[in-house]
Structure 1
């Protein structure tokens, strides 16, 4: 199978025609509101889009223009981020509150307009305010532009059907309050269940006497090939995905094609997407569980509840019997109604190595060297937890398990927070009006300040020493950190090498790092402490996978390279929601180039207002199709 897929890939690339269908405008309306949903025998108010969880799928073709009219009927301020869409010279539509735009206020509307040029595959969209992306999210599919002489426009055998598989979590808590709790160092809230396409599945009880929760069902026909577009929309956990009796052929990740890779398990961290082909080649007389299981960090990390969930892959009878073939009708009856589905054997709870090797086996489909043999700039970023004194401006306070401190998340010992001016003016607006300034203020203990994100941590130590995970004298010495608006500027066109180093400081988490507006070449990954003298020789400079979200392994590192060729202001952050809320983020500024085509254009004529919102003129909101 793998060899056949690989051969077909190169044949299809060689046969590509230059005759392409014209681009189109894809228009959709998102009505964000609250609705009551009942799961686990409890009624919960949930913020959703168009009454759906997950929200509607956006389907476009490479090169199309997209307009999404967001109508905010919820009680929350919100923005929508188009995760993985490069937004070339259009960071005005990137959707980061008070960084690139003002939030859309309750009772107001806003329209996002952008193009999807030069991208193909599975991305997604989600809220970027509070923890609302836990329920405000959906898949974003960009198909290749069809060539007039070739119906097989994918660089792999054309599937019979395409199926979004969105892994999420079910929350019975106020997500806005949870975000505030995270920002103050309180990490008590946990999800109540995991979901596949919004359904909890039969591992969870409904009400007393009411049986189990409904699960998602994927009906397949024997011998047919299905393209699963897998999105991890969870706030907390990386997941393994497996289907009993079936094998995946991975063909893309984060809307970038990879050399077909055959595996029986997928590893998907928050923010990532994986495209995988599955052939319905198992025994049709049975049905099979599709299981999503979270990966846990082992002790001494705090042990939090985490839940697996499962859907069902059900073989259907293609045609009813006893009728002429021309009049036979399809029916979705399962051929195994009386049999329990076959369950897959899943990796162990603390198995992180399966994830590590899964990512290590991915390479880009096209053998193309990385942009430059040498980087223009290099950064080494340590990812950690730390603490600040609860009383702002206080330099000394008791550390460890102390009520005098707030737990924060850091990049090179800086925990991100917005500057005071961002209460009324987004950072991008201020930057656009004063692009000649360096954007760095003097330090001040009493207010949030803008500082340059250091290229290296202020202090070197044994980053992966497990003795740092529990509170103790060595940990307490490294714990103090600062809060500021961490910003790093790059010359337009600079080639940047960035090494992310996970640390054991108070935690053993992996870290899915997401860079807005750019893709990253994943040059290498490793366990333990990064050593340039040893590890640079391991860099894949020929066909590295390309991602917008890169998982930095637990107590390990990942080396990436990106080209700072998209002018504007871009958010870089961990996609674990609690890490983001606690400050594991920074703003990357890409300076203008020397031409108009390489410079940030003015803001659109209509922008969201921080004071009264933006109301669209009558007739601009299109009815939902």
Structure 2
């Protein structure tokens, strides 16, 4: 029952309906306890409260005077460390923060491949550093090989910038998504130990970053080094350009490598499509398709290739700015090339004419050097090779050949050029001009035609580790099947993955397991939370080691990638049957396969073949295991491994907030918002032509809406025309709350003063009297979370009580003051009001009934709302945030870690450095005159990141709906005898914005 609390489990609910700490407040029909001990205890409590009251009275006024004298409209920084150390104690050294602010070109362009050459002066011994990147994601047309096509860009360039760091560094990437599609970034191969929510997997660990939104990835790079990369992990966006390399240096890097080398660089190879992957996916996933993957049109090396435009009649093409990739290497030296297949589908076979090479790293694992002269590499795999430029040739130029293994393609593409070449050119002090084209010869051995992994049996890690014994054995069958609706889908054990982008698996798992997982000894399929036909989730408790036997029943190769872990490659076979759980231990021992096997994160199982890997599940979280062939992953060849530990680990995604801002929930709430808007319109109609206290009635409107949505019953103010006692309490207390925001330790003293708590107890009773609502209310989510604790702590109770109050204030007071300020501004700018009415009139011609989705398209309305929020921020002093443990560099100022920082929104949003004519109401700055905005990042009315306002869309729904309905029916003007200046001059910052009464006159439009 919504609002009904279990008296046996909630500390402040007694069978007699009273607060156990408030025996002094009894109903007239109740008798006081007659127990002598109880009476003595009660008298002691009274004396305690009286003493505290005296103390409060003498201290609060002095503290209030000090607090109120400080300006809230300033940058306020509070040290969060309440240590008792003497002030003269030397502060610890500030951590190093390196900000990577690259210049963003004004037009889209290909990134200079020289940016992927690592600096020889890199400091491997630097103290742990915070490396901060700033990326703006956009979409523009670009021609990596001459053919123009839409591309995802980072800072207006393709490919993305290189992320480079040392082991133990912290990576911070600030994402601003200005693309038209939602997205997310996965840092491929990163363990993300303790930061599962930063894994970047949409529908698994996070919701996507919506257009015109931002998100910050922050994680520590621990226990790993080597070559990695990052890419979009939403739909097939990586193939549309959203990718780049990542290099993690070991502090012992030069000692771990068996070969010295003079230079170090990244070489990315990829297949390239001239059509958008969204278009290709529609065809690939359509009925009557038998897993015929789209065939690429070309290949790229470090984002570049070159094609003859005459081969593409009718396609927009310009090859003047692209050319054959060049790799310049000093002659007579060794050079490291970190090769990454960042493509969607194709396996590449890499060779350097006349030059053998040594493999020294596989997927972030250093290996003892072994010679090769061809390298097979599938999507998502990485190999570091060392090549020596010691071939004596007359022209000193050689081909690097990146050849796609087309035998794996089920279709033909006449436009495809399967081999892309780059020129390896020796550089020296000679002044001879470089040769235009190499004449080198390729290796004489037959070219590989089967899609399969490089034979890595000879590769042994430099740091020897033998795997621990396995606790469990899991068999996975991977295949494609045509089932319902003639759809071909990828399967793991009869399960094809269909995740929920707006309610990720990790969130649902945590929501359902707040009581803690069921203890079990073996890995198991979680069917309590997930439907195994759509979401196969293997769950384990504690640290376990498992063997996974992967059996490929498909004719195509699958590069399988495990997030959050590296695994031991025990066996790979292309015939016969793999050893079962009984046979495997003996087989491994007899063949000495447990002595330092290769460790990697992406393994390929060729068609009708198998592999057995061993993984130590020691990294808590929800981790994907999927085919890294983009088309196969999108068809459902995916599962999840969930590792659970102690209950405290479930805080990885906290706070768990009700999904009040999601579209389905908004549609459910919309009818109730309309209901209360109609009640408000009725009150306006009754007062037509007369002064109407808009501020008061707008508050009634938003309070009644939040009472219904949050607690299943409105406060009844729109019907009664009177303030609910709880609204009176809020009005009376907000001044104190604003004054004592930074003295939160005083609030328990307020509760101890006799009589002060009376209204709070009354509100608690009101909560308990609510009935089950027809649609779930917000408080039911919070109450369910509270009641899931078998023994709620006092802090749990305080959180519950605080959340109940926060819902009302955050969900109603802020919206009401915004509507009030909006109508104030429109009453002062009747020209803008008239323009807005015209926009609404046009809207009403198309939409008979206003609704949440269509109202969001009214550009001038949204501009007026944004301008109101800029001039009249609902929390003028700004919200408090805590700096990360390593501290934060803000311009020239370093703020220590774990420090509370407060940025005043009122001052920031009226700063001339961010907004021209900052004190004027100019909605056109958000539409037709964007030059009036100098720095849009100064405007964040709903905050940003994971702590942004969860009720943003709900608040906008209320504002848009009531504004549209009022202005479609009425003209407005300031009531005679009221001074507009008084409204501005008497605004107060009481944590939220407090404004004077706003008396308007509403008259019917013709």
1:318, distance to aligned residue in structure 2 (A): 2.8
1:63, distance to aligned residue in structure 2 (A): 0.6
1:251, distance to aligned residue in structure 2 (A): 0.6
Post-superposition Cα deviations, 1:553-576, rounded to whole Å, max 9, x if no partner, equal 232111100011111101110000
1:388 aligns with 2:483: yes
Structure number with larger C-alpha Rg:
2
Q: Are the counterparts in 1 of residues 480 and 488 from structure 2 also a CA contact under 8 Å?
A: yes
Scaled by the length of structure 1, the TM-score of the pair is: 0.76
Question: Residue 449 of structure 2 is aligned with which of 348, 351, 357?
Answer: 351
Alignment-derived partner of residue 526 in structure 1: 573
Q: Are the counterparts in 1 of residues 258 and 368 from structure 2 also a CA contact under 8 Å?
A: no
Alignment-derived partner of residue 295 in structure 1: 405
Alignment-derived partner of residue 234 in structure 1: 343
Alignment-derived partner of residue 76 in structure 1: 181
Alignment-derived partner of residue 990 in structure 2: none
Give structure 2 stretches of 5+ with no counterpart. 1-123, 519-524, 664-935, 945-1006
Aligned length: 521
Q: Are the counterparts in 2 of residues 244 and 342 from structure 1 also a CA contact under 8 Å?
A: yes
Alignment-derived partner of residue 411 in structure 1: 492
Partner SS state of residue 335, structure 2: strand
Q: Are the counterparts in 2 of residues 201 and 310 from structure 1 also a CA contact under 8 Å?
A: no
Post-superposition Cα deviations, 1:106-143, rounded to whole Å, max 9, x if no partner, equal 11110000011111110000001111111111111001
Name the structure where helix makes up a greater proportion of residues. 2
**Structure 1 residues 198 and 601, CA, compared in 2 at 3 Å: closer, same or farther?**
same
Alignment-derived partner of residue 342 in structure 1: 440
**Structure 1 residues 416 and 283, CA, compared in 2 at 3 Å: closer, same or farther?**
same
**For residues 206-245 of structure 1, what are the structure 2 equivalents within 5 Å?**
214-245=323-354
Measure the CA separation in 2 of the matches of 1:288 and 1:606: 58
1:287, distance to aligned residue in structure 2 (A): 0.6
- Give the CA RMSD over aligned residues: 3.2
Measure the CA separation in 2 of the matches of 1:47 and 1:588: 30
Q: Are the counterparts in 1 of residues 271 and 346 from structure 2 also a CA contact under 8 Å?
A: no
Question: Residue 124 of structure 1 is aligned with which of 224, 229, 252?
Answer: 229
1:281, distance to aligned residue in structure 2 (A): 1.2
Alignment-derived partner of residue 428 in structure 1: 506
Question: Residue 624 of structure 2 is aligned with which of 571, 588, 599?
Answer: 571
Measure the CA separation in 1 of the matches of 2:511 and 2:346: 40
Q: Are the counterparts in 1 of residues 517 and 644 from structure 2 also a CA contact under 8 Å?
A: no
Q: Are the counterparts in 2 of residues 295 and 349 from structure 1 also a CA contact under 8 Å?
A: no
Question: Residue 497 of structure 1 is aligned with which of 524, 533, 547?
Answer: 547
**Structure 1 residues 538 and 484, CA, compared in 2 at 3 Å: closer, same or farther?**
farther
Post-superposition Cα deviations, 1:417-451, rounded to whole Å, max 9, x if no partner, equal 12xxx353222122223323678448xxxxxx824
Alignment-derived partner of residue 603 in structure 1: 653
Alignment-derived partner of residue 326 in structure 1: none
Question: Residue 177 of structure 1 is aligned with which of 279, 294, 297?
Answer: 279
**Structure 1 residues 593 and 268, CA, compared in 2 at 3 Å: closer, same or farther?**
farther
1:80, distance to aligned residue in structure 2 (A): 0.3
Name the structure where strand makes up a greater proportion of residues. 1
Post-superposition Cα deviations, 1:43-87, rounded to whole Å, max 9, x if no partner, equal 211112222222111001011000001111111111100100000
Scaled by the length of structure 2, the TM-score of the pair is: 0.48
**Structure 1 residues 188 and 274, CA, compared in 2 at 3 Å: closer, same or farther?**
closer
**Structure 1 residues 516 and 341, CA, compared in 2 at 3 Å: closer, same or farther?**
same
1:335, distance to aligned residue in structure 2 (A): 3.8
Partner SS state of residue 496, structure 2: strand
**For residues 145-544 of structure 1, what are the structure 2 equivalents within 5 Å?**
145=251, 152-184=254-286, 186=289, 187=292, 189-201=294-306, 214-283=323-392, 285-297=395-407, 307-318=418-429, 320=431, 335-337=434-436, 340-345=438-443, 351-352=449-450, 355-356=452-453, 358-370=455-467, 372=468, 374-390=469-485, 405-418=486-499, 422=500, 424-435=502-513, 436=516, 440-441=526-527, 450-452=530-532, 483-504=533-554, 508-532=555-579, 533=583, 536=588, 537-538=590-591, 540-544=593-597
Partner SS state of residue 414, structure 1: coil
Measure the CA separation in 2 of the matches of 1:34 and 1:606: 33
With CA pairs under 8 Å and 6+ residues apart, which has the higher RCO, 1 or 2?
1
Partner SS state of residue 275, structure 2: coil
Larger mean CA deviation between 195-204 and 433-442 belongs to 433-442
Q: Are the counterparts in 2 of residues 110 and 616 from structure 1 also a CA contact under 8 Å?
A: no
1:316, distance to aligned residue in structure 2 (A): 1.7
Larger mean CA deviation between 156-165 and 108-117 belongs to 156-165
Q: Are the counterparts in 2 of residues 493 and 563 from structure 1 also a CA contact under 8 Å?
A: yes
Give structure 1 stretches of 5+ with no counterpart. 1-18, 321-332, 391-404, 443-448, 453-482
Measure the CA separation in 1 of the matches of 2:550 and 2:396: 45
**Structure 1 residues 376 and 100, CA, compared in 2 at 3 Å: closer, same or farther?**
same
Alignment-derived partner of residue 250 in structure 2: 144
Post-superposition Cα deviations, 1:581-611, rounded to whole Å, max 9, x if no partner, equal 11100011001158x6xx354337799x984
Post-superposition Cα deviations, 1:363-402, rounded to whole Å, max 9, x if no partner, equal 22233211x2x31111111111102211xxxxxxxxxxxx
1:250, distance to aligned residue in structure 2 (A): 0.5
Partner SS state of residue 364, structure 1: coil
**Structure 1 residues 318 and 558, CA, compared in 2 at 3 Å: closer, same or farther?**
farther
Measure the CA separation in 2 of the matches of 1:358 and 1:82: 26
Q: Are the counterparts in 1 of residues 146 and 306 from structure 2 also a CA contact under 8 Å?
A: no
Alignment-derived partner of residue 459 in structure 1: none
Q: Are the counterparts in 1 of residues 354 and 443 from structure 2 also a CA contact under 8 Å?
A: no
